[in-house]
């Protein structure tokens, strides 16, 4: 851009010619006409050449460059005024603008900048902003090589429009000279929707959720079933923090496919993420049932009402709530009978099912417990026939499995009135062999560990004890709350006992 007009050129020419006459008078220069004309032409040529561009180095307040020639120092001014010293500052001429400046988003967190090289320069400065309403750009890179025509910006955020400016510069005589800015912008791809999960299902509704996409303008939910070829948009959610949707009014026993994408709107355009997909189905409702025990026939009787869309039912029964269940398929009636052992507790589940795409799909279930006869209780607790029993007064422990006594042993429990072992119904929550026990004043290894409470009480061996077990040892040399057990006894319990085994302490 040439900031010199004809009027300015004429004024400069006049000043330079006047300076030449003064110089001849002061120094006795003969100054022929040809020399004066030559000097004047050189002055005009220098004055009318396009000036270098200068702007603030660290922050740009406008996309329009501010043009000025760097100020000369006092030494440079003195040198220019002396006829005996030649001008050492060579004119740099007009710095070409950067052409073909383009920005291309690469995924969600990277932008590639490309441009055509500018010859006879020192390098380039690159500036960036992301707020279209702001006039300020921040310098993000100085490239000290004129042949470099590429820069990757990876300090960015997904789903954001970025504005860039680039300008060439020359560094000469300890000064920077700048060319005009070239500008471009692009939009980073919004992050993809991921981790769609089914959070709930009924015979007529499906609930899904997905990971949030920060700053998304909206999510679009699409659906199709096995009879559709194409997805149909069924909902748009305009709050990026709301990443869940429940689809209602569905048909029982069908497979449904869902697709979710996110988009960001900017400048009248929408930028979409890649969608995520999931398929699921609508199962039949769970049956509500009744269960009873007939002491004469020693049979459990289970009955329920018909479920819409169900092709059959599955009855599952076990004498261990957390153990394995025996499953019985019932497809031609709404009741089921089974002879069981008396004086035991049984646990019953009933499912309905239908066939979808050649596979049985089951409903959720309701579970009930049923006492069949006089079920023995351990200090008021219904624990079945597999459990661990610990008496603090007797300092003794018993382990029963399937009604049979496996281990009977003396123990040492928590130091009485200081670290008392808690009482009540607990369960074996974890097992480890070996295990490190760490407390405020101890750090020991044991061979076998069966955790009983979540605050660190458990059953374990204690090979450091030399004074035996049982009796009143716990009143003067008790544990910190755990049940100290002889090695052979706890090993046998550990080998036979499963997690979730009831532990009754009294």
Q: Please state the domain extents for the chain.
A: 1-49, 197-281, 289-372, 387-505
CA–CA gap between residue 78 and residue 80 (Å, rounded): 5
Task: Compute CA 39 distance to the chain's CA centroid, rounded to the nearest angstrom.
Answer: 71
**Residues in contact with 269: Cβ distance below 8 Å, sequence separation at least 6, in sequence order:** none
CA–CA gap between residue 385 and residue 346 (Å, rounded): 11
Q: Which residue has the tokens 């220019």?
A: 80
Q: Which residue has the tokens 């049932």?
A: 289
Contacts 24+ apart (CB under 8 A), 364-369: 364/283, 364/286, 365/286, 365/316, 366/286, 366/287, 366/288, 366/289, 368/289, 368/291, 369/321, 369/345
Residue 196's nearest CA partner among 272, 103, 276, 123 is 276
- Asked if 379 contacts 502 with a C-beta cutoff of 8 angstroms, the reply is no
User: What confidence score (pLDDT) does residue 21 get?
Assistant: 34
Say which DSSP state 403 is in: T
10-residue mean pLDDT profile of the chain (506 residues): values are: 38 37 37 40 36 40 37 36 34 88 92 97 96 88 97 92 96 94 92 92 96 91 90 96 97 95 86 92 96 96 96 96 94 95 94 94 95 88 92 98 95 96 98 94 94 97 96 96 98 97 97
Residues 387-505, CATH architecture: Beta Barrel (2.40)
Grouping H, G, I as helix, E, B as strand and the rest as coil, residue 363 is: coil
Residue 113's nearest CA partner among 66, 160, 159, 153 is 153
Report DSSP letters for 131-167, one per residue. Answer: -TT---EEEEEEE--TT--EEEE-S--TT-EEEEEEE
**Residues in contact with 411: Cβ distance below 8 Å, sequence separation at least 6, in sequence order:** 390, 395, 396, 397, 469, 470, 483, 484, 485
Q: CATH for 289-372? A: 2.60.40.10
Rounded to the nearest 10 degrees, what angle do helices 33-48 and 6-27 cross at? 140
Residue 369's nearest CA partner among 335, 345, 395, 391 is 345
- Which phi and psi angles does 302 have, rounded to 5°? -120, 135
Q: Do 197-281 and 289-372 agree at the fold level?
A: yes
Q: CATH for 197-281? A: 2.60.40.10
Cβ atoms within 10 Å, residue 304: 20
For the chain, count helices (H), then strands (E): 5, 36
**Residues in contact with 457: Cβ distance below 8 Å, sequence separation at least 6, in sequence order:** 414, 421, 422, 451, 481, 482, 483
Say which DSSP state 16 is in: H
Longest distance between any two alpha carbons in the chain, whole Å:
144
Beta strands in 322-395 (DSSP E): 326-330, 335-339, 344-356, 359-362, 366-372, 387-391
CA distances, 252 to each of 33, 158, 256, 306, 497 (Å)? 106, 40, 11, 14, 43
- Asked if 96 contacts 180 with a C-beta cutoff of 8 angstroms, the reply is no
User: What confidence score (pLDDT) does residue 72 get?
Assistant: 38
- Which phi and psi angles does 184 have, rounded to 5°? -160, 170
Say which DSSP state 75 is in: H
User: What confidence score (pLDDT) does residue 81 get?
Assistant: 36
Structure tokens at 52: 């270098």
- Asked if 504 contacts 483 with a C-beta cutoff of 8 angstroms, the reply is no
CA–CA gap between residue 224 and residue 230 (Å, rounded): 7
């Amino acid at each position: 851009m040439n900031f010199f007009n004809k009027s300015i050129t004429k004024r400069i020419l006049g000043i330079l010619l006047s300076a030449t006459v003064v110089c001849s008078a002061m120094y006795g220069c003969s100054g022929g006409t040809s020399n004066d004309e030559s000097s004047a032409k050189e002055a005009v040529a220098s004055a009318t050449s396009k000036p270098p561009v200068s702007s603030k180095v660290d922050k740009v307040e406008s996309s329009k460059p501010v043009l000025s020639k760097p100020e000369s120092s006092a030494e440079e001014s003195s040198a220019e005024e002396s006829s005996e010293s030649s001008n050492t500052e060579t004119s740099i001429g007009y710095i070409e603008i950067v052409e073909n400046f383009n920005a291309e988003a690469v995924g969600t967190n990277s932008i590639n900048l490309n441009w055509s090289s500018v010859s006879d320069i020192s390098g380039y400065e690159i500036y960036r902003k992301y707020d279209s309403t702001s006039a300020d750009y921040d310098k993000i890179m100085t490239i000290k090589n004129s042949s470099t025509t590429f820069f990757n910006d990876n300090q960015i955020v997904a789903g954001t429009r970025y504005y860039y400016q680039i300008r060439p510069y020359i560094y000469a005589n300890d000064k920077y000279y700048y060319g005009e800015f070239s500008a471009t912008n692009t939009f980073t791809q919004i992050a993809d929707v991921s981790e769609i999960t089914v959070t709930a299902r009924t015979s007529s509704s499906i609930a899904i959720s997905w990971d949030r996409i920060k700053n998304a303008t909206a999510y679009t939910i699409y659906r199709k079933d096995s009879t559709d070829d194409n997805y149909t948009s069924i909902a748009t959610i305009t709050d990026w923090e709301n990443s869940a949707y429940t689809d209602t009014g569905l048909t029982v026993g069908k497979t449904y496919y869902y697709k979710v994408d996110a988009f960001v709107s900017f400048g009248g355009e929408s930028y979409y993420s890649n969608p995520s997909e999931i398929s699921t189905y609508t199962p039949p409702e769970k049956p509500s049932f009744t269960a009873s025990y007939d002491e004469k026939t020693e049979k459990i009787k289970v009955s329920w009402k018909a479920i819409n869309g169900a092709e059959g039912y599955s009855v599952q029964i076990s004498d261990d709530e957390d153990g394995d269940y025996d499953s019985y398929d019932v497809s031609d009636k709404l009741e089921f009978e089974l002879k069981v052992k008396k004086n035991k507790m049984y646990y019953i589940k009933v499912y309905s099912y239908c066939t979808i795409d050649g596979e049985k799909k089951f409903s959720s279930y309701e579970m009930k417990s049923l006492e069949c006869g006089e079920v023995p209780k351990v200090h008021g607790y219904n624990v079945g026939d597999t459990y661990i029993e610990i008496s603090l007064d007797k300092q003794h422990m018993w382990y029963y499995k399937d009604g049979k006594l496996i281990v009977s042993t003396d123990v040492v429990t928590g130091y009485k009135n200081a670290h008392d072992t808690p009482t009540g119904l607990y369960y074996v929550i974890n097992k480890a062999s070996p295990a490190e026990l760490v407390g405020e004043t101890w750090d020991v290894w044991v061979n076998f560990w069966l955790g009983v409470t979540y605050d660190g009480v458990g059953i374990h061996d204690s090979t450091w004890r030399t004074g035996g077990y049982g009796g009143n040892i716990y009143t003067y040399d008790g544990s910190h709350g755990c049940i100290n057990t002889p090695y052979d006894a706890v090993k046998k319990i550990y080998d036979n006992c499963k997690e979730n085994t009831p532990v009754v302490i009294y």
